[in-house]
Structure formats: structure tokens, C-alpha cells
Structure 1
């Protein structure tokens, strides 16, 4: 015998009893209404969607079958709705396997998988969404696939119970389905005639079926952008009216979005007023004619924030709620294609309709600048048109570069305001690069205009263009300059004497980012404790100090320079420093505000007492 003892085998498992999930229908309806759908109004979209899909399924079997959907509201003022379609219909077995099984879709059955792309619905939620507004649903249907099958009735309540029975042939003589809804408490408004008509028109105006509410047509085909017009001007007028009805504004222009490879047709409307880049425009998207969302934000590139779109597509995927678009590779391709179409429209305006382009840029130059900074072709196209603030007035970079051998620019609006009057008087052209995207576009200028020289304008460059004062005269004023420097030294500002135009400017405050950084560091060091003061002190750089440039040609400076009282000279220097800051529209630090107050009071005392202290 084998000396090894065999291990005991585990006991055989007993028979297992299968169980099925229990679904709390009321809880599921609450989940749909509060977390999946944004509004109860989607119930009508689901009804229209099911009806249109049923029609599509029947026409795949019989292309000559009618394509109609009829909605009837309660004529007696009651809260009820009836929806009839000429679709494929259901048999009794279909009812048990499809309507009574949550998540099952008729679009998966009966060999119609290959036609799935033609259907609007993709998630099989179907009639369940109707319980958001209805307490009871009754469906009467007759199948087109089994002509001999009798009509069948399915009645369900929102507590999860349902009944099924067959009906006599007279209950429905033609294939198709009729859905009856009875409103739940508090939801009667959603089945009111006016609300049903408005929702049906909103959701279904572009559907390929003949949809009517109480006999009134809902569909308006072809879509406004697909209709023939006698002239381009007539098309613009018609689309402008469509935009006003849809979005509430009259557009500057309309841009056709016919992109067949991307399965997209529609129109983009140019906003008549400026909007910021951070304000994302929302767009209306129809999926195979059915309105999917009116708040699509990711449809266009970020730079195209100056348009609002309405379009129909058969290539994009909806999310589970069918109220937004699924972010995938297809959407990325469509986004790029639509952006290219808008880019082509801009290029067409630049080459063929400069008046309309100028009107557009007067409102939306920021959006075009945003595009041009990444797109060299667009920058090259828009170069003669994009406006920039310069010392020569509002000009394009193309015109400005033709006038000046070197394109000087500042990176901030404050720097531009400091130097613009002086630079213009000295014949130095300057572009204000402080506005959004402007400095980036100036720096990109040589890439599209070879040979262009650009240079950032700093305090040293400006000072170098100012005329030096005769050394003998400057030496004679050394006492005045020393007193002025001593008063402004605590503010981190030096004093220099130059001669420049215009004569009306007594003093010019110049600094650069390095000087401002050093100034901020010094202030922080003064406020810090010993530890942080030591750390900040170790960061002391060699950046140039700010400077107050006194204009020796100005009559006021000549009079002030003749003063002999050092205290009065210091007060005058502080006044000139504060006035130069205000002229440059620079933000005032607390120390600057205190200086202005002190200088103002000092001048008042001098004016009332006189330089020698007498009244």
C-alpha cells in the first residue's frame, strides 16, 4: 500500500438557486429625473425618438411605407397625450421581451443590427423616461414583421406593474404603435398642448418624418442652411432671421458648415458684440435631425468663441443622457474640420470682402488674434487688417513695419503709457504689446515678414533717445539734482536730467520689470522679520533702478532748478515724481500715495508762507 495518506477532497457544492435583480421602478425614475436628465422635457424627445426609429425600421423592410408621427393632446383640458407612428410595431413576444425589460432595445432585435446607425436611440432606455412625467403608460401596437399577428396592448404603472393582452384587429388596423400617457401628480404642465407643441418643434423640426401636433406641422425641411435662395444676399437675410428666432440676436454674418466627410451640415452665426475668450459659447446640435443639446461647448476650437452654431450630424456620439456629446476621436476630427471652415471664411473675407472683414474685426479682433498667434498662415493673411495700438495711432503691424525700420514694443500697457508720448516726439515708433496676444504677435512678425526687426523697448532705450544736457549746465545744477536724488532715493528711484520733446512734459518716470521686481523685493524685505529679511536680502539683484527723467527744456523744471532751499527742492521732486506716475497711469503703492499727500501739503504750506517763511 502506498504509505502516503491522500488529502480529503472538498465537499461537493449543493444546488444553487438562481435569483434575479429586483428593480425599484420609482427609485429608478427618480434617478433619471434628478441625475441623468436635465429636465422632464426629455420625455417628449424619447417618444419622438422611439417613433422615428420605428418608422426607420419599417422602411428598412418596406421602403414605400409611410413615414409619419402624430401627437394628440387632450382636447378636454385633461393631462394626457397620445403619440401615433407608422413604424414597424411590436408583437406580443416583443412586448414581453422589450417593453417589460429595462435596458433592452428593439434596435438589437430581428436582424436590424446592421441598420443600427440609422437609429436615433442607442441606449435602450425608451419608454422608461416617460415615467418622469406620467403615472401610467398604455401602448397599443401592431407588427409589420408578422402581418397576421393581432394588435397587442401593454399597460404599465409607475409602481413597476404591467399587463399585456391581445386586442381585436379593429383596435389597430395598420402596423405601427400608439402610446398613451396620463400625467403624474405635479407634471400636468408637461402634457399641456402649448408645451407639447413647443417641445415637439424644438426637438423635431429637422426630423425626416412628417411630425404633426394636433394637425399642425412640426418639421421644417429642408433646414434653413440647405434651402435654395435667389442670391447670397437673400441667403444672409434669411439666415439672419433664423438666427434671431433661434438665439435672439442678429448676426454680423453667417458661415456655412457643410463638411460632408465629417457628416456635418449647419451654420455658424457671428456674434454682433464682443465676448471674452473665457466665455464659452454654447451650440445647438441635432443628431440625425433630433435635437441633442443646445448647450454643446466642446464643438469648436477654443479660439472660435465669436460664433454660435446650429448643425445636424450623423457622425457624433451622444452620451448616455443624449444631452451632450461624447468626447472622442470623432469629435476631435469634427472640431478641427469646423475650425478649418471658419478659418477659410476669414481668409475669404480678407481676399474678397474687406468691408465686411473690417466690420468683423472691429468687434472680434481678439478672437482672430488668438487664432493668428498659433497659425502662421492666418497671421500672414490678417497682417494687413488686425488693429494694434501704436504711437502712430491704430494701425496694422504690416503698415507699422513699413513706416519704421525697427518695430519697438512694450509688454505691458503701463510701460507703453510711460514712453509713448516721449518716444513719438523723438520719432521712435512703439507698439503697445500689453493687450491680450499682442506682444506674441509682434514677436511672431519676422516669421511671416522676413527682414522685420523687432525690439522690446525698455527704459535704457528710451533714455538713449533723449538729448543729453550740456555738461556745464548739468554741473551748475548738481546741488539741485543731489537734493532731488536724496529725497527720492528711499523710493528706489534715481533722478536724471535730459532735454526732450514735447516741452509740455516736465518729467518722465521710467522703469522696467527688473526695476519693479527689485522694488517689490526691497519693500518685502523692510516688512519681513529677521529671518525673511535675510533671505530676501540675499536675493538682491543688480537690476537698474527706476528713474525720474527731468526735462531741462520745460520752463517749470528750469524754475524749480533755481530753488536754493533743499527742503523745497525735495518737495518739488516728490511732486514731479507723483505727477509722472499719474501721467503714466501706474498703480500707486502706499508709499507713493503717502508721498503725494506729503508733497501736496508741503506745496500748500510754501504757497501760503513763502519760501522765506513770511506771509
Structure 2
């Protein structure tokens, strides 16, 4: 047996009017939308029909109500029953239910927003197609009535009268109404007046006729300061014809949080949709704020966001391409200005360079990376070094950069966001470029081994040092290298690091998994970490000549611990214990020697 749904009209009214919209302020947007759409419909029949919207706040009506008059097409009594009493029914859709492009509203629920501020909504209307004036009165509890109007309208059109809910009268007051019109309806092409005085400009910021480029730049700067709260670094003109979109992108003069969603001001056929619309641009373009007007992108039912569909996705890609083209032009025409921009917004540009070759070229040529020879662009670095070697972390770079610089090795800090990915993409610009992560043991190949006489003299010390560190899985290697101020360097290859991770995993695993990990652990002695003792360092030379074995052992332990700490290497419990023993032992020896004196 087939049945129809039972609808609680009071609940539906409450759902749409109180939960669909984020704020009571949208009621004015919906009233203006209905008025402009009615005028658009009338002018489709009569191009010479008047186009006016006039508003009487409670200060003028004298009875606490707000009245909105329009010279639109109006409604006949059958249309009142069909459209105003059926939630979701709209005259602004065609017979297939598709949105008609010339209208702002499409969903047939906009009038319900008035119940955010009013407990009674009265619509007095006369159709331009003929017929008497009809009055529809809707109540917040879901009831409505339709009757002939007590007074006939002279001209076609509609008047909406709102009687405020107790406590909501401030939303209907004249000053508030003026502010809401300035927010939502300032750019509408229809004159909107309060007490006979027009209160909207009827133009979008890029549509005003400016006498000169300088005047335009000054006006747009003032607009950005008023709307977004900043003086823009630059202004980019935007246009996506397939979306009926035109507008501006204002480049932020200060750094922005890449993780924060950028809110853009979006107009729909010159009616403000919302100030905080996100996902209009690609995520990498977080350094711009946009104001756009669109005729084709679809709003959500609440008209406070854009509907995610293929057209919006294509528009997002096109707008991103226009921002990107601005950056490419800036690189070609004003390098100094580009550098100032990159100093603030390099994260967005580097993010874009991960999938755009032109932006990769901009980063390669203009963005200074941190290298062992100071800040340098990758293009300059490649001219000096045949191989682009990089460290995986900033800590590793800080330790190895002075050593690499002294050996003229060439090293780039890959510890910042996107830098490693950018360097790995360099072969797209130059197929001959060699990019590789530094294996720290490569540095040791540049160090000088000791001469045979010195090595023979140091042999007892080196044998003792090797015995001290053997239990920690570390070899001792004497070498001479710059800078002399660095006494020791703890170097571990990637294979050794992986072996250490394997041993840690085995130690914490149960018996079964410990056996499995042991079976795949193929580490040999060739991959053990190395403590490189710098023979050019005077402290190392003096420690090597100490005749007291226990004091020499403390010196070796201290050099080992200092190298671990300087390199920001993780300390095992055994490492920590040795570092503690060396510190206390040297302190005890120093205080004892001082007491003996």
C-alpha cells in the first residue's frame, strides 16, 4: 500500500530557518535576492519596467516592522499558493528542475530565513501579468493564510513586512539594515534605497572607471585595507569565462599559515555569497585573498559556500594558473620584487614547484637555499659543484656544513619544507645534474691519513681507544681535516643507521620477532659508525700523548660523547652512562690535580 510522507511543518520551518543558516544577518541577503530576481523576471517581459528596491526600517514604519518594497514581477494568487506555501518550490528553476542562470536564488527556501528574526512574515503582491493584490501571511509555527489585500497596489511588485521576534528587533533597525545592505547588496545593479536615499554603489571594485592605472592601484589598495585588513603586495586580475568569473587576487604582504584555510569574498551575480569561502584556489596559493563575482558556479542551499563539482574544480585550476603566471612574469620583469615576495611566501612557491616545472625554474634561479658556503640559489650551486649533495635534517647539516665547507665539498641543507623534493626534481631542468643524499662517510674520503711516523707514535693510544669504544659498536679513525677547532666527528653511514634501528627493534621485540629480525640483519663491520679524531686539533694531540691510561680513557670517552652531542645523535643508555662517567672522572681528576697544587 502506497502512502505519502507526513511532514511536521513547524519542524521544517525551524530546521531551515534556524539551522540551515549560520547567522540571522542572512535574512537581508535573501530579501534582496528575491527582490532582484523579481525585477529581473519582470524586465524579461518588459525591458522598460522600473527597477527599484526601497526599504522602510521600524524608524519609518512606526509600528516596529520592517518593509521591503520591490518593483518586480509580483505573484498571482495561484502562484502564492504554489510558491510561498511549498517549501523547496521555486519559480527560478526550469521544467527540468535546473537552475535558471539569470536568477540569484534557486532553492525556494530563502524566505524561511526571515523567521530567524521575525515571527510573522507578510507578503503583499500584485502580478505584472494582471490580477488583484494578494496578501500571504506566514507564521513561525508553520501556519499561513492567503486573502485579498486590504489595499490594492497601484503598480505590480511585492512588499515583504517582517514583525520581529521578541529580542530580535535590533536586526531590523535602520543602522543594522544599512550595514547589511552594504555587506550583501552594495554591488547589485538595482538601486536600493532607505528613506528615498540610495545606499548601494552598484559596482564591483574592478568595474569602476578609474582615470589612470595609479588611481586604480590606489583605490584597490584602499579596498583591500578596508575589506581584508592589509595593504596588498600586489593585485592580480582574475578571469575564468567558463565560470562567468571575474575578480581580483590580493597578495598578502605578510607571511600566512599554510595550514589555515584562506577565506575569499565571493559574489554570485553581484550579490555577496560569503566573506569566508574556501577551496576557491589551490591549497598552495595560501598567500592571496580573492574577491570574485561568478555567474555559473553553484552555491550550496545555505548560499554561504560553493558547491563542489567539476566546474568549481576547473575554476580552481584556472585561478591557480593565473596566480602562477603572475609569479613567472614577476621573475622575468622584476627580480628584486620577486626576491622580496619569496622572502615572505617561499613555502607556497616551493609547494607549487613540486608539480610545476616553470615554478621549479623560479625556485632554482631565485630562492636561496642554505649551503655550506652560505645562502645560494640551486642554479649558482650547480655551477660550482657537479653533484648536489644534501643532508636529510637541519641538525645533520649544522654539524657537517663547516667540515664540508673546509673540504670544498658542497652541501645543501635539505631539512626545510619541500627542499629535498625540489632538489630531486632538478633533473627535469637539467638531465645531467646529479642529486644525491650525503652519506656522511663520504666526507672521510677527503680527510688526510696520518703520516707513518705519527701513526706509529699514536698506536698505543689508538689501540686503547678502539678497545674502549668497541663495546659501543664504534671504530676509531685518526685523520687530519679542517676546521682544526673541531676535535672529533661521529660519522655513521645510512647502512649503519639502519643497522642501529634494526638492533633497537630486536631489543624491544619478543622472541619470535627478534629471531626474524636477526635473520634479516646483514650488517657487517664495514658499516660500523666511526669516531674520526682530528689530528689538527691540539686537544686531541694532547690526549693522545697522555701517559696515564685511565686519564687517556676519560679523554676518549669525553671526545666520543662530545661528538654525539654536537651531531645531535640519539644517545643509547650505554652512551649516556659513558658520557656521565667521563664528565665525573675528568671533574674528579681536575679537582684532585688542583688540590695537589
TM-score, normalized by the shorter chain, greater than 0.5: yes
Q: Does 1:74 align with 2:58?
A: yes
CA distance in 1, matches of 2:63, 2:491: 78
Q: Does 1:330 align with 2:311?
A: yes
Q: Does 1:43 align with 2:13?
A: no
Where does structure 2 lack aligned partners over 5 or more consecutive residues?
none
Q: CA RMSD in A?
A: 2.6
CA distance in 2, matches of 1:239, 1:588: 57
Question: What secondary structure, in the 3-state scheme, does the structure 1 residue paired with 2:239 have?
Answer: coil
Per-residue deviation, 1:218:
4.0
> Which of 290, 298, 301 is residue 271 of structure 2 equivalent to?
290
Q: Does 1:560 align with 2:533?
A: no
Give the match for residue 114 of structure 2. Answer: 130
Question: What secondary structure, in the 3-state scheme, does the structure 2 residue paired with 1:383 have?
Answer: helix
Q: Does 1:98 align with 2:79?
A: no
CA distance in 2, matches of 1:212, 1:256: 31
Q: Is the 8 A contact 1:153 1:166 kept in 2?
A: yes
Give the match for residue 474 of structure 2. Answer: 493
Matches within 5 A, 1:162-561: 162-167=144-149, 171-215=152-196, 217-542=198-523, 544-561=527-544
Per-residue deviation, 1:564:
3.1
> Which of 549, 552, 555 is residue 569 of structure 1 equivalent to?
552
Per-residue deviation, 1:585:
4.3
Residues 1:33 and 1:93: Cα distance change in structure 2 (over 3 Å)? closer
> Which of 36, 43, 48 is residue 52 of structure 1 equivalent to?
36
* More off after superposition, 50-59 vs 68-77: 68-77
Give the match for residue 13 of structure 1. Answer: none
Residues 1:487 and 1:212: Cα distance change in structure 2 (over 3 Å)? farther
Question: What secondary structure, in the 3-state scheme, does the structure 1 residue paired with 2:69 have?
Answer: strand
Question: What secondary structure, in the 3-state scheme, does the structure 1 residue paired with 2:59 have?
Answer: coil
Per-residue deviation, 1:532:
4.3
Per-residue deviation, 1:492:
3.6
State the aligned residue count: 594
Per-residue deviation, 1:408:
1.9
Residues 1:19 and 1:459: Cα distance change in structure 2 (over 3 Å)? closer
CA distance in 2, matches of 1:252, 1:330: 29
CA distance in 2, matches of 1:379, 1:367: 12
* More off after superposition, 475-484 vs 432-441: 475-484
* More off after superposition, 332-341 vs 560-569: 560-569
Q: TM-score, normalised by structure 1?
A: 0.90
Q: Is the 8 A contact 2:171 2:177 kept in 1?
A: yes
Question: What secondary structure, in the 3-state scheme, does the structure 1 residue paired with 2:236 have?
Answer: strand
CA distance in 1, matches of 2:70, 2:367: 55
Residues 1:542 and 1:310: Cα distance change in structure 2 (over 3 Å)? same
CA distance in 1, matches of 2:198, 2:568: 62
CA distance in 2, matches of 1:592, 1:65: 89
Per-residue deviation, 1:289:
1.1
Residues 1:504 and 1:88: Cα distance change in structure 2 (over 3 Å)? same
Question: What secondary structure, in the 3-state scheme, does the structure 1 residue paired with 2:366 have?
Answer: coil
Where does structure 1 lack aligned partners over 5 or more consecutive residues?
1-15
Question: What secondary structure, in the 3-state scheme, does the structure 2 residue paired with 1:257 have?
Answer: strand
Q: Is the 8 A contact 1:206 1:289 kept in 2?
A: yes
Question: What secondary structure, in the 3-state scheme, does the structure 1 residue paired with 2:417 have?
Answer: coil
CA distance in 2, matches of 1:115, 1:123: 9
Per-residue deviation, 1:531:
4.0
> Which of 71, 89, 96 is residue 74 of structure 2 equivalent to?
89
Residues 60-115 of structure 1, C-alpha deviations (whole Å, 9 max, x = no match)? 11112222222221117875321111111111221122112222212248x99999
CA distance in 1, matches of 2:555, 2:56: 86
